[in-house]
Amino acid sequence: MEDYLLAFAMVALTALFIGLTTVGLVEFT
């Protein structure tokens, strides 16, 4: 019943990771 919370957390963490990676690449470029 809590699967949607887990899915939301995974999506949020993935989006955050991608965002941080993009910012990092932009900063170092």
Which pLDDT score, from 0 to 100, does residue 2 have? 84
* CA dihedral angle for residue 5, residue 9, residue 10, residue 13, rounded to 10 degrees: 170
Q: CA distances (Å), 8 to each of 5, 19, 24, 27, in order?
A: 5, 16, 24, 28
- Per-residue pLDDT tens digits for 1-29: 689 999 999 999 999 999 999 999 998 87
Average pLDDT in the chain: 93
Which pLDDT score, from 0 to 100, does residue 27 have? 87
> How is residue 7 written in tokens?
């899915």
Looking at the whole model, is its pTM more than 0.75?
no
CA distance 26 to 20: 10
